Structure 1
Amino acid sequence: MDDLLMIVPTRGRPDSVPAILDCWRRTGATADLLFAVDDDDPMLTGYREHMEQIDDPRVHWVTGPRLRLVGTLNKVALDMAPRYRFLAFMGDDHRPRSASWDERFRICLSGGPGVVYGNDLLQGELMPTAVAMTSDIVTTLGYMAPPVFVHLCVDLVWKDWGRGMERITYLPDVILEHMHPAAGKAALDQGYQECNSSEQSTADATAYYAYRDNGALQADLEKLRALVEEAA
């Protein structure tokens, strides 16, 4: 079994590929990296051109039908969970900055089922906008994020899982910078407009409160606490 895979669902931003790969090299990361691209992406040719220029066995990409962020993440995570001990997620607008950030994640997760995240310089400890977890969490629940979500609020769920398991670590000195318009670090392109629209924000927020308050979160936590007990 391989150790750590970072999954990056991406759409309409092929230039994120070389930008993220540059961060991999600068930080000395040894984790595998997988870009998940929609097969109907208007920029698919740009992704293909970038990937064809990469000669690095750690870097992979897959294409598939558009499932939106959570759907794509779940499909890839479930496919890859048997192969990797740890699975991680970040957006195509995250940039790892800290040397050996992936090794810090491995160390935190080496003791058993759990969740770890670094500092995105936007939400900080408040939300794990980029996250890593043991792959047994994904196989136990059948997803890396509840499929009732489309894009937003899944970071709140990951924090709920980690806290409910009493197995969560925040690393303030491990920087995975979120190059987001809210931080003035990116333009408000079509992707941001779609996922941050009032309609999408309302839908995902409503899904979160329903998941949290109507028993689904507690059902997941029962499974995760049992997982922790089994691993002890």
Structure 2
Amino acid sequence: MVLVVADQHLNTPMYFFLGYLSGFETCYSSTILPRLLASLLTGDRTISVSGCITQFYFFGVPLASECCLLSMMSYDRYLSICKPLHQMVLMNGRICLQLAAVSWMGGFMVTTIVTCLMLKLHFCDPNEIDHFLCDFTPVIKLSCSDTRLTTLVAFILSSIGTLPPFLLTLTTDVFIISTILRIPSTTGRRKAFSTCSSHLIVVTIFYGTLMIVCVTRH
């Protein structure tokens, strides 16, 4: 992140978004790992309800924001491969900052609404979470209140926050791959694919993990 800011050669949309992606991943680690390591070292695996919901909040904000960020990165790669002459106009520094701010605000808004609904719930026995962090589904199962409204709102907001970015990411990636395959020279195809292969891997791992977690929970 420091290199992206300090090195003028890295002041491009791709590295700008990579810097933000690194920030999101740092938030994940800072939210989950310290509490997990403390539990492993001390053997104390208890956490208060307020602490649990706080962990969910600071985990949920970057998670919700990253969906939007990955779609923006896909769109930037789409412009780079498919419309290179328009990239600097459509993805200048001001627009990149605005898109990053939108992703953060979207993540804060979605997670804040869900967290406020969770704070109104009452929790009783059983009080053991079958997870290594306080995610939404494991926590909501422990509530002895009526959780239908909270679950419905969370489902609607998560669908709005993940489905459109996922479809945009999928669409742009299809255009990118089809454009690369139409490049006549092998060297040109290899060079074009090398600029977006890392992003394709990140998108696959991110959404693949989300789908696996959702399937195994239900």
**TM-score under structure 2 length normalisation:** 0.29
Which structure has more helix as a fraction of its residues?
Answer: 2
Tell me which of the two structures has the higher relative contact order, counting C-alpha pairs closer than 8 angstroms and 6 or more residues apart. 2
Which structure has more strand as a fraction of its residues?
Answer: 1
Bigger Rg, which one: 2
